Each structure stands twice: as C-alpha cells, then as structure tokens.
Structure 1
Amino acid sequence: MEREALAGLLTDGTRAATAARAAVLEGGAYTVWDGGVPCEELAGTYARRLRHTRRTGRRTLDLERAVERLRGHGAPVRLGRVDAADRSWTYLLFLDEDGESLVACTGVSRSPR
C-alpha cells in the first residue's frame, strides 16, 4: 500500500489514527499484511493486552475503543503496523479485509511508562 493511500485511511478522528497518520506522513516505517484475520480472535487478544497494559501502566491510545470496534465488526480484518520515525510509538491498524477502510487503530508506547 502506498504511503499516501494509508494516510488517507487514518482519518477517523481518534487520537491513535491521528497519531498514526502523522507517523506515516513523517516517514515512519509501516506495513500492511495480506489476508484477513477473524476479528473475534483479535478482539480477545487485544482485550487481554488491554488488561495487561492497565496492570503494567504502559501508555496506549484508543486500545479500549479498538477492542469494542473489533467485537462489533463481525468480518475478518487486515492488519497493519506503523512505527513512529523516532520509534517512540507503534500503531496497530485494523482495516477491512479489502484494505479500503479503517475499522480500528490503537497505539502503544515503546517505553514502559
């Protein structure tokens, strides 16, 4: 996926998507994988990650919202990842299976607190 096309998907107004868009436009590394993953599986995985980050105090952006959106989506999603150019944050993208729209986005700080 082209950098500009990916940036164009990250416009839902959430803090995570806004930050991921900025990271893409500032030259951060990114990838979007082919194929779909069942959103129910991902919702469970990221619900566990949400509990873990709350226990450990790791900073996140919109993780709870991403879990809610994955639970409500009902169709496979395509995964993507964006790393901020300074490597301070990683953003996880959940796109529709065709990669044409954003289902959810979350960010996690690379530093513990």
Structure 2
Amino acid sequence: MTREDLAAMLGGQTTACGPARDALRSGGAFVIWDGLVPANQVTHTYRARLRITQKRGQQTQALAATVNILDQAGDALLRIGRIDAADTSWTFMLFLNATTTAVIACTAVARPNPASSRSSIDPG
C-alpha cells in the first residue's frame, strides 16, 4: 500500500482520521501489519487502553469512538496499521477491513515529550 492510497482512505470515520492523514502526508512513518485479527479481540484491548489513558490523563483523539466502532464490528476480521507523526507527537492506530481497501476506524494517543522524560541527572 502506498502513502497516497492510505491517505485517500482516511476520511471521516473518526475525528482522528484528518490528523492521521496530515501526519502521513507530512512524512510520518507508517505500517500496515500482515495478518488478520477479530474486531472483538481488538475491542477488548482498546477498551482497556481507553480506561488507562483516562486514568493517566493522557491526551487521545477519538479513542472512545474507535472502541464503539470496533464493538459494532463484532467478529469481523481486521488489519491493523500505525502512523507515527514525523515530529513524534502522536501515534495513530488504524483499523482496516480484511481486504485493506477501507479504514474502519482511527485513533491517536499523544506521545510523551522526550525532553520531559529525560533524567535531570547529568551522568558525566
């Protein structure tokens, strides 16, 4: 799949799709993994991620909406993809149909600022 093919599939499925498309077109790295996974299995994982990010106060985009879409997909088989923003500020997770011809849902999680997570102790 090409960058432009994927960008064309990122429409209005969730509010994270537009920013994901922008990240992709701005040079963000992307991957669509081989293999299929049942939507209900992914729903369980992302429902847990929703609870964890809410508890931590971590910024997300369309995570609750994505969980709802995945829940409605039942046992349909999906492919999973990822886009990392070029500035490393966001990671977008994509859920595509089994034939990789449509994005079903998209969510994003803000990545921690690398500068703020470094130790203030100088090892030298």
TM band (smaller chain): over 0.9
Match of 2:116 in 1: none
- TM-score norm. by structure 2 comes to 0.87
* SS at 1:55 equivalent: helix
1:110 and 1:9 mapped to 2: Cα distance? Answer: 24
In structure 1, the residue matched to 2:97 is 96
* Structure 1 partner of 2:17: 17
Unaligned runs of 5+ in 1: none
* Secondary structure, counterpart of 2:94 in structure 1: strand
Aligned length: 112
Q: Which residue in 1 is equivalent to 2:42?
A: 42
* Percentage of matched positions with identical amino acids: 45
The CA RMSD measured in Å over matched residues stands at 1.1
Q: Which secondary structure state, in structure 2, belongs to the residue aligned with residue 42 of structure 1? A: helix
Structure 2 residue identity aligned to 1:2: T
Q: List 4+ stretches of structure 1 deviating above 6 A.
A: none
Q: Where do 1:26-105 residues align within 5 Å? A: 26-74=26-74, 75-105=76-106
Structure index of larger Rg? 2
* Structure 1 residue 13, shift from structure 2 partner: 5.7
Unaligned 5+ segments in structure 2 are 114-124
Distance 2:85 2:39 in 1: 25
> TM-score scaled to structure 1, two decimals?
0.95
